[in-house]
């Protein structure tokens, strides 16, 4: 997730954790954070003897359901590498044994305002995240007034405590996800449509997509990976399931295209300073330029 300070990213994740049940852990990204800090921490007890306790990853064991890495771009690449392994394998080696996290969901956020003493995630690391979502303030004045003046939103602990716990059981998510992916299937035409979307993300000029003041054949340095397209289809199937359908439709791909693909398309450095302007225009151009079946 990416957004300005104080827009509710942490509150949103705490609400997700409350709704899923299971255990929740959070760690703050800092420049001096080391990989071991995610696994264990050391201290002196009352007798002055060194002690080792499990860190945020190991503390809850297999019941860890939601793990939040706050300001991930403040942590060093070595820490990123450990987190990526946890995301990919849902396991980690420590103290001569293997620890497993079968139900873990990993979330991270970036502060897009402050860039000093930060380590931006490389392309390969960002590709491991299924989605990259911008969290912005509401545009509606009525909602803004509610956030400012309604005391219900002034105490986040009480607000989240009022939610039902385990509304969707965290230990059933893997089985549910598997059922969704196996049940909802695309047609042959839909597969061709997805393939065209993928190719257009790499070579927009071949599909007649144009942006103002841009040499389209020089715009894209790298398009989405096969893993990225797999994430797109998986997310689209969930969208279809939420709409109570067993058939994948073009609108399902369109609904999740921005959040699953934008962080996987990398612009040529000569256009990188216009990234925030050009990327939404490119996504819109692809969705409007590729005919849906």
Last residue of a domain, one of 122, 138, 166: 166
19 in the same domain as 66: yes
Query: Torsions phi, psi of 43, nearest 5?
Result: -160, 170
CB within 8 Å of 205: residues ≥ 6 apart: 216, 217, 219
113 in the same domain as 72: yes
42 in the same domain as 82: yes
CB within 8 Å of 284: residues ≥ 6 apart: none
pLDDT of residue 198: 96
pLDDT of residue 2: 87
Query: Which residues of the chain fall below pLDDT 70?
Result: 114-117
pLDDT of residue 116: 66
63 in the same domain as 31: yes
Tens of pLDDT, residues 39-48: 998 888 888 8
Tens of pLDDT, residues 27-41: 999 999 999 999 998
pLDDT of residue 41: 87
pLDDT of residue 123: 83
117 in the same domain as 25: yes
Last residue of a domain, one of 106, 140, 166: 166
Residue 6: domain span: 2-166
283 in the same domain as 226: yes
Count of domains for the chain:
2
157 in the same domain as 27: yes
């Amino acid at each position: 997730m990416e957004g300005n300070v104080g827009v509710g990213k942490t509150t949103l994740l705490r609400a997700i954790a409350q709704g899923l049940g299971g255990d929740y852990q959070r760690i703050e990204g800092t420049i001096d954070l080391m990989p071991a800090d995610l696994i264990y921490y050391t201290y002196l007890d009352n007798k002055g003897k060194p002690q080792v306790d499990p860190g945020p990853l190991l503390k809850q064991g297999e019941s860890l359901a939601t793990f939040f890495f706050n300001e991930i771009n403040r942590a060093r690449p070595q820490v990123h590498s450990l987190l990526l392994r946890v995301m990919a394998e849902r396991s980690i080696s420590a103290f001569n044994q293997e620890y497993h996290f079968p139900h873990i969901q990993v979330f991270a956020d970036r502060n897009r305002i402050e860039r000093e003493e930060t380590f931006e995630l490389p392309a390969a690391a960002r590709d491991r995240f299924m989605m990259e979502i911008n969290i912005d303030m509401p545009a509606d004045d009525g909602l803004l007034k509610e956030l400012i003046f309604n005391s219900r939103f002034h105490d986040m602990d009480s607000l989240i405590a009022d939610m039902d716990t385990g509304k969707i059981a965290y230990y059933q998510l893997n089985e549910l996800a598997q059922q969704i992916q196996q049940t909802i299937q695309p047609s042959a035409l839909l597969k061709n449509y997805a393939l065209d979307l993928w190719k257009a993300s790499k070579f927009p000029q071949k599909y007649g997509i144009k942006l103002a003041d841009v040499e389209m054949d020089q715009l894209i340095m790298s398009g989405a990976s096969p893993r990225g397209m797999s994430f797109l289809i998986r997310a689209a199937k969930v969208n279809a399931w939420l709409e109570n359908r067993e058939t994948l439709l073009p609108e399902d791909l369109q609904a999740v295209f921005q959040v699953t693909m934008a962080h996987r398309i990398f612009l040529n450095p000569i256009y990188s300073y216009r990234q925030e302007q050009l990327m939404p225009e490119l996504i819109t151009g692809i969705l409007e330029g590729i005919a849906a079946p």
